[in-house]
Chain A
Amino acid sequence: MLYFTRWKALAIILTALIVCLFAVPNFFSQERVKTWPVWAQRHIVLGLDLQGGSYLLLEVDSNYVKKEKLDQVRDEIRRVLRDAKIGYTGLAVRGDAAEVRVKESDQQAALTKLRELSQPLGGLLGSSGQRSLEVSDAGGGLFRLTVPQAAITERIRQTIEQSIQIVERRINELGTVEPLIQRQGTDRILVQVPGLQDPTDLKRILGQTAKMEFRMVDSSVSPDQVQSGRGVSADSEVLMSEQSPKVPYVIKRQVLVSGGDLTDAQPGFDQRTNEPIVNFKFNSSGSRKFAQATSENVGQPFAIVLDNKVISAPVIREPITGGQGQISGNFTVQAANELALLMRAGALPAPLTVIEERTVGPGLGQDSIEKGKLAAYVGSIMVIAFMLLTYRLFGVFANIAVAINVAMIFGILSLLNATLTLPGIAGVVLTVGIAVDSNVLIYERIREELRGGRNAISAIDAGFRRALATILDSNITTFIAAAVLFYIGTGPVRGFAVTLGIGIITTVFTAFTLTSLIVAGWVRWKRPKTVPI
């Protein structure tokens, strides 16, 4: 144990040194570090509990996704039956199924057509035998089409993927610094925005689906007439205005152009009235559709509908062929900014709900950093002092090893760009305890071997050899606990698991290499007859 070849000693020192060096960028300002080579820029990221910021967990509304899917199935049934010229009645979504009834003579033909709608799931590799739709014959010409769970799960997966992109675009448009957006589980999105103190705006922006539609106003019946009890035709519906006072509008169901055809939207001011407006641009297919619709309906009002609310309903004065337009809806400047942002970023495929929110203000974060630092310093210094008092010279060795150990923890945390949280700092402090323990185990064993009658060098050798086996066993058990914590934990708890886990690895490394190297160096230099321990 006490003999190291020159190469091995060099390798150990170099490894420790390099790992420690990775911690260096943390001592410099961000701007300074940015000018360094990329490999040297890695640094520890402060968790939201330390630097302040907002954490949101969003969940996609799976009922909505299911209902959308069934509505789509209903529309497809209508399409195929119409194409095949099969008469049907009672086409509707009921509960978990889309139902349709056909005449008995058409049953066979209808069944064939409906079965064609169902496709194997998972493309060519779909060996599960699952299909996107299940068609069942309820007898008497009634067919029931249900969407199997696997297809819904797949749909939710797609929805989440699209939603992440939209959420990313919306948050980036807000101009926040280094937001983190990632998927969690099957139907959730995690959003972390460092430095955000009040997530109210963020939640409002993410809470809107922002489905934008340009539709015609139905002038055949006035809203007043509807309110006094007159029905609207099946092709129209009543929608309320976005702004209060809420005013009803009768709007045709047919969508002229949808938000998907927008290429840009910018807030601005009307040149005449100086009112905040939103200028928008369509892509070529949108421009064409919009030009056609506006030239056919000059003099008629059309409506700009966002999430089933009417933003404004201007009258078409002349055909709009340039693919550009503006929306003025008595906006405030903030509302115009937000609308433009939502139009640019696009619509969410399904509504998102905030199911968990954690926000830490910068004041608390700063306090936590200071308190954590103070606790870490005081704790370390007390431990160092105690080791010096107990083991004297060997206490100095232990302290050197522990100091390098802590530096290596920060080096590895930087290398991994890991997140340091307040419990993470607690983890570092606890690691100091564990690292000291490894030294205590070795020294106590050496003392025992000395009492057993061995001479100095042989006692040191045996002490190391026997203690290291124990160190390995005891650290592996703690490591298992840390690994489980990492796996199940979120946020701060995970931060604790990371520092504890890394701390255990560096502890075992230093115990096996550095501590013995230091002691071996001392033995070679002094050739001691007794061990001052």
Chain B
Amino acid sequence: MTQSILIALGVLIVVLTVVAVFDLLPPLRIVPDVTHFDFTRFRRISFPISAALSILAIVLFFTHGLNFGIDFRGGTLLEVQDKSGPADIGAMRAKLSTLGLGDIQLQQFGGPADVLIRVAEQPGGDAAQQAAVQKVRGALGDSVEYRRVEVVGPRVSGELLAYGMLGMMLAIFSILIYLWFRFEWQFALGAMIANVHDIVLTIGFMSISQVDFDLTSIAALLTILGYSLNDTVVIYDRIREMLRRYKKMPMPQLLNESINSTLSRSIITHVTVTLALLALLLFGGHAIHSFTAVMVFGALLVGTYTSIFIAAPILIYLGVGEHRDAPDTPAKK
């Protein structure tokens, strides 16, 4: 199966390379060469939408909450595979519920024989968690293969959460400092607003979808951050260049031209990254499923939207380009 997919794809590459080298097909153009979308006017719609979505996300966060994984909540997680075929979750639950370990969740995970068992954090500190996992192992015995066992004690979970949050803030902060040096402070501020917007919406998504929020999610969030910034910086770079070239052009028009001239790049890059992420989502297995799902949402949907509709138009409000007074110089050809 796997082999044949790969062989087919390999053949495709060879054919396409030949086609490309000998110029046999017209190039694929997703975006027309010249576009004139009025992105900045759209800000009158996009800003309220973003504000509403952000508020919704925050409300969700406080009412619905995040589905904290054991990294941050502490407790025990076991991924087991029934050796005799499809697992009888009911029987397993009956067996485990007699152990007196409080809340135990069982869930099918992947194939029919795979079960994910979550045991809530036990009162009584680290030794109690260890005792709990020993009890579960004892109850299930050798009838299952233990594919993954994770035990996180109460202190570690608290620290991991604190470090995760700290890291996120540290990342935003250091990126801001960098942007402040490379651009003007308005750009740094605009990027920060865009950043926070990304993270808030992604957290809202995590709240709705109830994917496990764990260390990997923090990694996903940071990647989304980096990715969205990458996009924002590309547009900002162009805005800065345009600001130097066209001293008299009104800001909305200048921003529009900047976004339009980088649009083709934005779309093509997003298609390629989407292809890569889709491959991870479809073939990467369960272990990174929630990671890639969050990335697809955050980096591709939110990140792109943010760079175009938030990060760039917001510069108008932050007063970029207000003090240009030199006469307009025509663009060098």
Binding site for B on A (CB under 8 A): 49, 57, 59, 197-198, 200, 203, 353-361, 363-364, 367-368, 370-372, 374-393, 395-396, 399, 422-423, 425-426, 429-430, 432-434, 436-437, 440-441, 444, 447-448, 451-454, 466, 469-470, 473-478, 480-482, 484-485, 487-490, 492-493, 496-497, 500, 532-533
Contacts and interface: CB of A to CB of B under 8 A. Distances in A.
A470 B283 contact: no
Contacts of B333: 452-454
A96 B222 CA distance: 44
| Interface residue range, chain B | 35 or more
B276 interface: yes
Contacts of A466: 241
Interface in B228-283: 229-231, 233-234, 237-238, 241, 261-262, 264-265, 268-269, 271-273, 275-280, 282-283
B148 interface: yes
Chain B CB within 10 A, most for which of A371, A375, A376, A454 = A375
23 contacts: A59-B126, A198-B146, A361-B145, A370-B2, A372-B285, A375-B280, A375-B283, A378-B279, A379-B279, A383-B276, A385-B9, A390-B27, A391-B20, A426-B291, A440-B269, A441-B269, A444-B264, A453-B333, A470-B238, A477-B226, A480-B175, A481-B223, A492-B216
B284 interface: yes
A368 B29 CA distance: 36
A487 B275 contact: no
A382 B279 contact: yes
A497 B219 contact: yes
A382 B150 contact: no
A432 B275 CA distance: 11
B166 to A, nearest CB: 7
Interface string B127-162: 100100110010000000111111111011000000
B12 interface: yes
B19 A388 contact: yes
Nearest to B34: A451
Contact of B287 (A381, A387, A422, A430): A422
B284 A375 contact: yes
Given A363-B81, A379-B279, A422-B288, A396 B223 contact: no
B48 to A, nearest CB: 28
Interface string B175-199: 1001100100000000000000000
Contacts of A374: 2, 5, 283
Contacts of A425: 284
B216 A392 contact: no
A355 B153 contact: yes
B153 to A, nearest CB: 4
A481 B145 contact: no
B228 to A, nearest CB: 10
A437 B234 CA distance: 11
Nearest to A445: B265
B283 A482 contact: no
B321 interface: no
A497 B222 CA distance: 10
A382 B275 contact: yes
Given A385-B13, A436-B269, A474-B234, A423 B167 contact: no
A367 B2 CA distance: 13
Nearest to A361: B147
A151 B153 CA distance: 27
B167 A488 contact: yes
B146 A489 contact: no
Contacts of A469: 237
A422 B175 CA distance: 26
Given A354-B126, A381-B13, A476-B178, A493 B219 contact: yes
A473 B5 contact: no
A355 B155 contact: yes
A356 B149 CA distance: 11
A59 B167 CA distance: 23
Contacts of A364: 79, 147-148, 287
Given A356-B152, A447-B264, 8 more contacts: A355-B126, A378-B279, A380-B276, A386-B28, A390-B268, A440-B268, A473-B182, A474-B233
Contacts of A448: 261
B55 interface: no
Contacts of A436: 269, 272-273
Contacts of A378: 5-6, 9, 279, 282-283
A380 B145 CA distance: 33
B85 interface: no
A69 to B, nearest CB: 22
Contacts of B10: 381
A381 B288 contact: no
A395 B218 contact: no
B20 A393 contact: yes
Interface in B15-37: 16-17, 19-21, 23, 25, 27-30, 33-34
